[in-house]
Structure formats: structure tokens, C-alpha cells
Amino acid sequence: MKVLVTYLSQTGNTEKVARAIHDSLNRAKEIHPFQEVRSVEGYSLVFIGFPVHGNSVPAKIQPFLKSLPKNLPVAFFHTHAALRGSELARTGIENALALASQTRVLGTFACQGKVKPAVIESLKDKPENRKWCEEAQTSDGHPDEADLADARAFAAGILAKATVLKA
């Protein structure tokens, strides 16, 4: 079984989670920013990570998600400023699932990622952003070691599911 971990990261949050996932895998594996991935052919499992922007998948990764082969086993992970498990955090992964509906999604993982204070400051006075700004203020220091430990556990669980599928 050959595994690919690919990600889009602009501030380093998602890359940090991608590396934790990659380092925990005890299989043939590769890690690449999604811009460097030309094909997913030959991989038995693909982990795909991205930051949530505006409660959605960043536009630059959407074509990649739509182009994934039918029934390819994938697992999504994302970072966001919202509180873990909140509606704002769930929206991004729901968009990814819709974009990659042709794949076989084995699971999803999400954790907070630190947001630059200037971004929060620039959005806080707009009523439509208040809830996000409140939650984003709790993101400082994330992803932390507990988040990365959860990411490693997530990867182990996904690998176990993929191994059963392959058998």
C-alpha cells in the first residue's frame, strides 16, 4: 500500500498537521504540497489537507478535489480558526465532501490553526464575521501538541480502514 499526504498551507498550520500524519504512517508514503502533485495514480490512499477560507475549501484546491478518481480512498484534514466541532468548522469539510463526492472518503479530521491577529482585527467590526472572530481568538497556539497527537491517531485509524478495504 502506497500512501500520499498532500496539502495546501499558507500559514504553516495545515503543513504541520500534514507532517504529523505523514510521520505516523508505517507504510510506503510520500508528502507533497498539492501544487506539486501531478497524479494520484499508484496511490492506495490519499490524505488531503487544506485550510478553511470563508467557511469553504480554498478555490485553488477545488479543481484538484473534483478531479480525483472515482472510488479512490481518501481522508480529509483541515485547519480552521473556529472552535473544534463548531458549525463554522464543519462547513469547510462538508464542502470538500461535496467536491470529491466520487471518491471513497474514509474519514475527516479538523483542528484549529492560529490566525494572524491582524486578520481578526480587520474583520471584527462586520456583523457577519462576529461569531468567527470570537472563535478565532481561541486559535492562538494551534495546532498544538494535543492537536498533532489527535492527527496521528486519526491517521492510524484511517490506515487501518484502508488496510481492511485492500484485503
Asked if pLDDT for residue 156 goes beyond 90, the answer is yes
Q: Decide: pTM greater than 0.85.
A: yes
CB neighbour list of residue 1: distance below 8 Å, 6 or more residues apart:
27, 28, 44, 45, 162, 163, 166
Nearest to 96 by CA among 131, 135, 51: 51
Question: 32-40 — which CB contacts under 8 Å span 24+ positions?
Answer: 32/4, 32/5, 32/6, 33/6, 33/7, 33/8, 33/9, 34/6, 34/7, 34/8, 34/61, 34/64, 35/8, 37/4, 37/6, 37/64, 40/4, 40/68, 40/69, 40/72
Which tens digits make up the pLDDT trace of 21-78?
A: 999 999 899 999 999 999 999 999 999 999 988 778 999 999 999 999 999 999 999 9
pLDDT band of 87, cuts 50, 70, 90: confident
Choice between 89 and 160, residue whose per-residue pLDDT is larger: 160
Q: Tell me, which fold does domain 2-166 have in CATH?
A: Rossmann fold (3.40.50)
Residues in the chain: 167
Which tens digits make up the pLDDT trace of 98-148?
A: 999 999 999 999 999 998 888 888 888 888 888 878 888 888 899 999 999
CA angle 112, 29, 7 (to 5 degrees): 35
Distance CA 125, CA 133 (A): 9
Q: What pLDDT does residue 33 have?
A: 97
Domain boundaries, the chain: 2-166
Choice between 43 and 85, residue whose per-residue pLDDT is larger: 43
Residue 82 contacts residue 55 (beta carbons within 8 Å):
no
Residue 3 contacts residue 42 (beta carbons within 8 Å):
no
CA angle 84, 89, 94 (to 5 degrees): 130
Cα distances (Å, whole numbers) of residue 125 to 23, 114, 122, 129: 41, 20, 7, 8
